[in-house]
Structure 1
Amino acid sequence: MSRKPNILLITSDQQHWNTIGAFHPEISTPNLDRLVREGTTFDRAYCPNPTCTPSRASIITGMYPSQHGAWTLGTKLLEDRHTVGEDFIQAGYRTALVGKAHFQPLKSTPEYPSVEAYPTLQDLEYWRNFNGPFYGFDHVELARNHTNEAHVGQHYALWLEEQGCANWRDYFLPPTGTMDPSITYKWPIPEKYHYNTWIAERTNSLMETYQKDNEPFFLWASFFDPHPEYLVPEPWDTMYDPDKLTIPALVPGEHDRNPPHFGMTQEDHPDFSSMMETGYGIHGYRSHHYYEYGEKKRLTEYDKKKLVAVYYGMISMMDKYIGKILDKLDQLGLAEDTLVVFTTDHGHFFGQHGLQAKGGFHYEDLIKLPFIVRCPGHVPANRRSQAIQSLVDLAPTFLSFCNLPIPPAMTGIDQKEVWLGKREQARQHAICEFRHEPTTIHQKTYVDERYKITVYYNQTYGEIFDLKEDPGEIRNLWNEPGYQMLKSELLLKYAWAELGKEPLPMPRIHHA
C-alpha cells in the first residue's frame, strides 16, 4: 500500500448468514457477490451476542459484552470504555459512523444519560449542532429507526428536510408520524428518501473529503435493514415471488429435547412472566405464531412466505446502495488502499425452528454471520475460509492491519494473518453470550469446528448440537446417554474458553 490503509466497515442489521446471492440462488446481491469474488468469505463468523447494543459495542471495544458492560438492550456502553476509534484518532486517522449506532438506550436517566433517547432523539436543533465526538468517532450522522418506527429523528430527519421531503412524517408511525400502522410489506416512502440512500450519500461524501485532504480514515457505514418490520419501497417489495422461495419451518418434535422456552414459543399464549425480572420486554420470549413488530396479529401461511420475500427485497435494495459505496471507493482511487469488511451485528429467524426474529435461541441462524473481507493484493480473492471469526476480533484486527498497537485490554483475537491467507486459523472456538435479564435469561454458547454447547445460569438443561452430523440443529444431545462423555469434554472446553478470554489490561512487569 502506498499510504496508511483505510478501514471501511459496512454492516447490515439482523441479516441471516445465508442471504448472499453468490451462495444462495434464491436471492440477488450483485454487489456483495462482487466482494465475494474480490475478497475472502469467512463461513464461520459469529456474533458475541445476538442483539444490537451488546454486539455493536463489542465491535468498537474489542471486548465481550460481559466485559464492556453493555450487556443487553436497554443498557448503554459507558463513556469511560476505550474504543478503537480513539486509537485511530491518535494515529492521525479520521473516524466516522453513518447510520445506526445503538450504543445507548431509548430512555435517559440522570445517572445514565442517553443522547439516543427521547426527547433528545427528535430534537432536530440538537442534532443540527452535534456531529461528535461519539465513542471514538470524530464525526457521526445518526438515526435510530428501523423502517417506519416512530424513533425517526436525528441526522436522518434533518437530511429528509434538506432533500425537500417536507412530509416525511407521513412515512413513519405515530406519535412521531402519521403512517397507518396496519400497512406492511410495501413502504410508501420514495426510494430517494430511504435511509439506504442517505447512508450511501453521506458515506460517499465523507470519503470524498478524506480523499481530497489525503487523510486516512476508519469509516463505518451502518445500515438498518433487513431488521423488521418487513417494509421496503417499491419495486423491491415485489422483487421476489413468495411462492418460489424456500420457506423454513418447524420440524415436528424438534423442541421436545430442548429447554422449556423453546417449546413455549410454539404455544398461542405462553406465560413467560416468571422470566421478566426487570419488568421490561424480553425479546423472543413470546408466541412465535404472531408478529413481534407492528400490529399484533397471527402469522398466516401467506405472511410466512411474504415476509421472507420482503426480507430478501430489503437485502437486495441495501445491496444496491452498498454498490454505490464500493463504486465511489473505485472512483476516488481508494480501493487499493482500503480494507473493506462487510458483516452484520447478528442473524435472524424467518421460520427456522418455528421461530421469528431473535431471542435466547443460539441456533446458527441467529449467531452465525455473513462475513466478507476485501483488500486487493493483500487479502486472497475469491476464497472461502472455515477459520472461525468473531465480531470481537474486528477492533484488534483493524489496528493490526494498520500496523497500530493493540490495547492489551482488548480480548478479541488478531485475525490479520488469517485474513491475509498466511495462517489457517487464529481461534479454535467462538463464544456467544445472551444475558437479557440479570439471572433468569443468562446463557452462553461455545462453538468449535464441529460441536456447539449452550449452558444456562442456574439451570441443569442445555443444548449440544453436532454441526457435522446435524447441521440443521434438530437433535439436541444434552441428555442423550451415549453423549455424556462428549458433554463433559465440551463443558471443560467451555470453561477453558471462559478463562482464556479474561482481559489482561497490562502485562506483568516485575516479579512482585
Structure 2
Amino acid sequence: MMKAVMLMFDSLNKHMLSAYGCQSTITPNFERLRKRSLKFDNFYVGSMPCMPARRELHTGRYNFLHRSWGPIEPFDESMPEILKKQGIHTHLVTDHKHYWRDGGATYHSRFSTYEFIRGQEGDNWKGVVNKPIVLYESGETEENKQRKIASRTQHLINQQYMQDEKDHPLVKTINHGIEFIETNQDADNWFLQLECFDPHEPFYVPEKYLQMYGLSNQDFDGWPPYYLVTEDESRQKVIRGFYQALVTMVDEYVGQVLDVFDKYNLWQDTMLIVNTDHGFLLGEHEWWGKNIMPLYNEIANTPFFIYHPEITSVNESRKMLAQSIDIPATLLDYFNAPIPPNMQGKSLISGLENDSPIREYALFGYHGCQINITDGEFVYMRSPVVQGTEGLNDYTLMPTRINRRFTPKELQGTQLHEGFDFTQGCAVLKIPATSVMTTDSDRFGHRLYNVKLDPQQISPIVEFETECRLLENIRLMMIANDAPLELFARYGLSKNDAVNMEQIALEHQYIGAAATALDSYELAQDVKYGVMSLLQYIDTRKLGDIREKLLNQLNKSLSQEQLIAFIIDNFPTENHNELMYRVALEMRLK
C-alpha cells in the first residue's frame, strides 16, 4: 500500500522550533515529529512568496525567473494532476485563502477533490455592510494601503465568527484532514495535502495559548509591520510572543496528526512530509516579515521533516542540500509515477538513507529582486545592477496578480513571446513588469555569507573565488532554466560568457568607490545609507539642482531628522511618502 500526507504551514520560522534548538517556544510535538522522521538542516525555498512557492510544488521548476505571483499555467505539468492520472486519489484540505483569489485560482482544481476552510487573513467570507473603521498609515503606494485596510477590516469581521478554538480555521483544517485520513486509512493509493495558513499573520491566537507566554490582554492586533524594527524591546517581545503562541497552537495540531498516524499505524505504509513555503523575520536583521528585505536564512532556510516507511533511519538530521522544487519529484518517485522531463527538482528518496547529495546548488529569490544561490556552506545574494523595473517582464498566459487581474494599463506594451523550453510549444504574453517589490531592489547590493561559520548572517565576507564560483553557477542555472535573455543583463551577466575573476574584482572596485564617495563628509553610517539612496534617486531622474543643494547640506553634517526635512523642503508633496519610506529603509539597513 502507498499513501502520503504532506502537512504544510505558511511562514514557519524554523528558529522558533524546539526541533531546531529553540528553547523559548513551546513545541513538544515538533520535537516528537523530529524523533519519528528525518530533519533537514539545509532545506531552502525556491520562488517567493506564497503562490510562487505553490506553483513550484506542482511543477518542480523555479517560478521567479519568468514571472511574479500567478496561477498555474495551461502548459504546466502538475504533480497532483499527474498522480490523479496515475490512479492516485489526491485531496487538498486548506484554509490558505490565496487559492480562491484571482492570483491562485487554478491550483486546487488539479486535485481529485478539495475542501476549503474560510476566514483567514481578510478572506472575503462573512458579509457585513456596516464595517469597522481601520486606520492604516504607511509610505506605501495607495493601492497597497487600500488592500491592507480592506484585509484588516474583513479580518475584524471574520474573527467575530471564530471566538471559540473549535471555530478557528487552523482547527477546522486539521479536523477535515484527519477526517479524510480516518475515512481512507484502509484504502490504497492516495495523497493528502493538508495545508494550513498559520502561523502566517495576522497572529490570531486563542487566549489559552497567549496565557502560556504571559500575553493576556496585550494591545496587539496580530499584524506585524512589513518594515524595519522601530519598536522598543518590550513591544518587539509582544509581537514575537504572539507569533510564538500561534506556533504553539500549530504544534498542538501537529500532535493530533501524529496521534492519527499512531492510532492507525500509518507509519507502516504512509510517507509523511511536514514543511512550509518560507520563514518569517521576527526582528532579526532589524526587519519584520518578508518581501522587501534581502532573503536572509530566517526566511529562506526552512524547516523540513520527512518520514519514508521503507527507510529505517529516523531521529536523524540530514545535511544534504534540498529545496521546494524537489518535493513534487519526491512524491512522484514515491508513487512510481512518471517525472516530466521539464521538472528540474530532484527526488530526495535516493539520498535519505545515507544523506547523499542530490544537488550541488539551490537557487532562490523574488521575481526581479536579488537572485540568491547556496551550496549549503555559502549564501550569495546578487542584486540587480540596474534600478527599477525597466526591461523586466512577466511571461504568462494567466495575467493575474495576488488578488486581481492585470489592468488595461499594465497590459499596454504586451507582446507575444515565442515561449520557453517548458511551455510545450506555446507562445506566452510578455508583459512589462510593474511589481512594487522590484522597484529599487538594487539598493541592497551583492552579499556573500559563510552560513556555516556565520549562521545568523551577521557579517558579509569578501572571497573573490567563492563569489566567482557562485555567480557562475547562477548563470548556468539560469541557462538550464531557460531564463529570459534580458534577465542576464539585469544581473550583470552574459548568457554566452562565463563569469571571471576580473569581473568580480571590477565590481568590488566600483562598489568600494560608491561606498566611500561620502567618506569626506561627517555623516553617521545610517545617515550615509540614506543619503546614498536619495542621491541615487536624484541622479536617475537628473535632478541636478536638488543634488547640489543636498551636497551643500552635507558640508554641515546631517542628522536623520535633517535629511527627512530636506525631502519635505525640496520635493513635491506627492513624492514625500515614497522618498521617506525609501530613505528610512536605508538609514536602518544592516
Provide TM-score, normalisation by structure 2.
0.62
Query: Which segment is superposed worse, 220-229 or 98-107?
Result: 98-107
Return the offset for 1:427. 1.0
**Secondary structure, in 3 states, of the residue corresponding to 1:192?**
helix
Structure 1 residue aligned with 2:167: 193
Q: What does residue 312 of structure 1 align with?
A: 244
CA separation of 1:333 and 1:472: change in aligned 2, threshold 3 A: closer
**Residue matched to 1:374:** 307
Q: 1:463 aligns with which of 442, 447, 454?
A: 447
Task: Please give the alpha-carbon distance, in whole angstroms, between the structure 1 residues aligned to 2:314 and 2:86.
Answer: 29
- For residue 338 of structure 1, report the CA deviation from its aligned partner: 0.6
Q: Rg larger in 1 or in 2?
A: 2
One-letter amino acid of the counterpart of residue 140, structure 1: Y
SS at match of 2:207: coil
Query: Distance between the aligned counterparts of 2:340 and 2:178, measured in 1?
Result: 30
Partner residue, 2:113: 139
Residue 153 of structure 2: aligned partner: 174
2:472 corresponds in structure 1 to 492
Q: Distance in 2 between matches of 1:495 and 1:405?
A: 29
Q: Secondary structure at the match of 1:442?
A: coil
Q: Which residue of 2 aligns with 1:240?
A: 213
Summarize the alignment of residues 181-260 of structure 1 with structure 2, pairs less than 5 Å apart: 189-212=163-186, 214-241=187-214
| Paired positions, count | 395
Residue of structure 2 in register with 1:72 after alignment: 68
Say yes or no: does 1:93 pair with 2:88: yes
1:380-391 equivalences under 5 Å are 380-391=313-324
Cα 1:463–1:135, aligned 2, differ >3 Å: closer, same or farther?
farther
Which residue number in structure 2 is paired with residue 447 of structure 1? 374
C-alpha deviation, 1:101, in angstroms = 4.8
Q: 1:144 to 1:452 in 2, by over 3 A?
A: farther
Displacement, 1:96?
Answer: 0.9
Label 1:137 to 1:188 Cα distance change in 2 as closer, same or farther (>3 A): closer
Q: Contact conserved, 1:41 with 1:371, CA < 8 A, in 2?
A: yes
Residue 489 (structure 1) shift: 2.5
**Displacement, 1:355?**
0.3
* Amino acid aligned to 2:371: K
Distance of 2:359 and 2:478 partners within structure 1: 13
Partner of residue 20 from structure 1, selected from 17, 22, 36: 17
Secondary structure of the residue that 1:174 maps to in structure 2? Answer: helix
Distance 1:302 1:84 in 2: 45
Q: Deviations over 1:8-48 (max 9, x none)?
A: 00111101122222322222222221221011100000010
CA distance in structure 2 between the aligned counterparts of 1:372 and 1:300, rounded to whole angstroms: 35
* Native 8 Å contact 2:97 2:120 kept in 1: no
Instruction: Indicate how the Cα distance of structure 1 residues 374 and 415 shifts in structure 2: closer, same or farther if over 3 A, else same.
Output: same
Once the two structures are TM-superposed, the CA of residue 287 in structure 1 deviates from its matched residue by 4.1
Aligned to 1:40: 38
Name the residue aligned to 1:415: 348
Counterpart CA distance in 2 for 1:205 and 1:287 is 40
Instruction: Say whether residues 1:301 and 2:233 are aligned partners.
Output: yes
Contact 2:278 2:299 in 1 (8 A): yes
Shift of 1:300: 4.1
Given the alignment of the two structures, is residue 392 of structure 1 paired with residue 392 of structure 2, yes or no?
A: no
8 Å contact 2:119–2:158 — kept in the other structure? no
What code does the residue aligned with 2:454 have?
D
- CA contact 2:38–2:317 (8 Å) conserved in 1: yes
Q: SS of the residue aligned with 2:57?
A: helix
Query: Distance between the aligned counterparts of 2:240 and 2:16, measured in 1?
Result: 11
CA apart distance, 1:177: 5.5
Amino acid at match of 1:192: K
Q: Is the 8 A contact 1:38 1:376 kept in 2?
A: no
1:388-434 Cα shifts (integer Å, max 9, x gaps): 11010000111112222211111111211112x14511111211021
Q: Which residue of 2 aligns with 1:253?
A: none
SS of corresponding position for 1:446: strand
Q: Is the 8 Å Cα contact of residues 8 and 341 (structure 1) preserved in structure 2?
A: yes
Deviation at 1:80, TM superposition (A): 4.1
Aligned to 1:351: 283
What is the identity percentage for the equivalent residue pairs of Structure 1 and Structure 2? 22
- Measure the CA separation in 2 of the matches of 1:211 and 1:493: 45
CA distance in 1, matches of 2:195, 2:211: 25
Q: Report how far residue 222 of structure 1 moved.
A: 0.6
The yes-or-no answer on 1:427 pairing with 2:406 is: no
Query: For 1:315-334, what aligned pairs fall within 5 Å after superposition?
Result: 315-334=247-266
CA distance in 2, matches of 1:378, 1:62: 23
Cα distance between partner residues in 1 of 2:324 and 2:120: 22
What does residue 362 of structure 1 align with? 295
Give ranges in structure 1 of 5+ residues lacking alignment. 109-113, 117-132, 155-171, 182-186, 243-283, 291-298, 436-440, 504-512
Aligned partner letter, 1:472: Q
Q: What are the ranges of 5 or more consecutive residues in structure 2 without an aligned counterpart?
A: 128-150, 216-223, 387-441, 484-590
Matched position secondary structure for 2:6:
strand
Q: 1:289 & 1:433 partners in 2: Cα distance?
A: 23
AA aligned opposite 2:470 = L
Q: Is the Cα–Cα contact under 8 Å of residues 51 and 72 in structure 1 kept in the other structure?
A: no
Residue 485 of structure 1: how far off its partner (Å): 3.4
**Do the aligned residues in 2 keep the contact of 1:335 with 1:376 (CA within 8 Å)?**
yes
Q: Which residue of 1 aligns with 2:101?
A: 106
What is the CA distance between 1:320 and its match in structure 2? Answer: 1.3
Q: 1: CA distance between counterparts of 2:385 and 2:166?
A: 51
The Cα of 1:370 is off from its aligned counterpart by 0.5
SS class of match (2:330): helix
Asked if 2 retains the 8 angstrom alpha-carbon contact of 1:38 and 1:374, the reply is yes
Q: Give, in whole Å, the separation in 1 of the partners of 2:237 and 2:244.
A: 11
CA 1:105/1:204 → structure 2, altered by over 3 Å: closer, same or farther?
closer
Deviation at 1:285, TM superposition (A): 11
Residues in 2 aligned to 1:65 and 1:464: alpha-carbon distance in whole angstroms: 24
Q: Which amino acid aligns with 1:288?
A: L
**RCO greater where, 1 or 2, for CA within 8 Å and sep 6 or more?**
1
Query: SS of the residue aligned with 1:10?
Result: strand
User: SS state of the match for residue 178, structure 1?
Assistant: helix
Q: Secondary structure at the match of 1:475?
A: coil
